[in-house]
Amino acid sequence: MNDTQKVAIVTGASRGIGRAVAARLAREGFAVAVNYASNQAEAAKVVEEIENTGGKAIAVQADVSKTADVARLFDETEKAFGGVDVLVNNAGIMAIKPIVEFDDETFDRIFAINVRGTFNTMKQGAKRIRRGGRIINFSTSVTPLTLPGYAPYSASKAAVEVLTTHLTKELRGRNVAVNTVAPGPVATELFLDGKTPEQVDRLAKLNPFERLGQPDDIANVVAFLAGPDGVWVNGQTLRANGGMV
């Protein structure tokens, strides 16, 4: 990718999968911009953990649904580290309820963060990621299962998969690969919030390993796509779900 140190932006990196991805990429030698929306204290802890193991990181507040915030996220990363090689679009929200019960505000927020947020960062990435870089978006393996209550969330992630395939073609000649990772159920605060133990157990057993994924399981897939071994994977959705679907 570059002779100098590689640089990654990870959105929504103050907790959960994003936190694991930021830590893993730091171990792979990346300088990391740890993006967060509101949890400054947790983002600072991620930076501290990376620095304590000899890595380089900064925390950058930005609401990915806001165009100006995303431009500033890239500006601050470039100012700190000289450029951007990898963008990981992890920031996202989820709400589960039947379509008939879904309120407009929640629907709009899901699409603002999951779709518009991904679009905003992809747009900046398409302009500013260095030659040979990577854009790694996040979808969900729930989409093909059509589980009741997940419709707006699944629809937002289906849109991300479509954006991914289009941008792949638009970046022809840049040697920038664009892919999507689609996890199954992962033991994060986002997933566990509002679910009963019975619901969690049922979802965990959808895959043949009969367990929830762990954030590090997903971080491993991202590290593969971001690293030299992932160079020939482009325009794909990798369903990291233990064989659930």
Q: What is the dihedral of CA 51, 56, 62, 64, to 10 degrees?
A: -120
Alpha-helical segments (H) within the chain: 16-27, 40-52, 67-81, 104-111, 117-128, 151-170, 189-192, 197-204, 215-226
Catalytic residue flag (residue 153): yes
Q: Which of 119, 150, 153, 191 is catalytic?
A: 153
Q: Which two tokens stand for residue 77?
A: 């990363």
- Rounded Cα gap, residues 16 and 188, in angstroms: 5
- Rounded Cα gap, residues 57 and 197, in angstroms: 36
- Rounded Cα gap, residues 128 and 171, in angstroms: 12
- Residues marked active site are found at 153
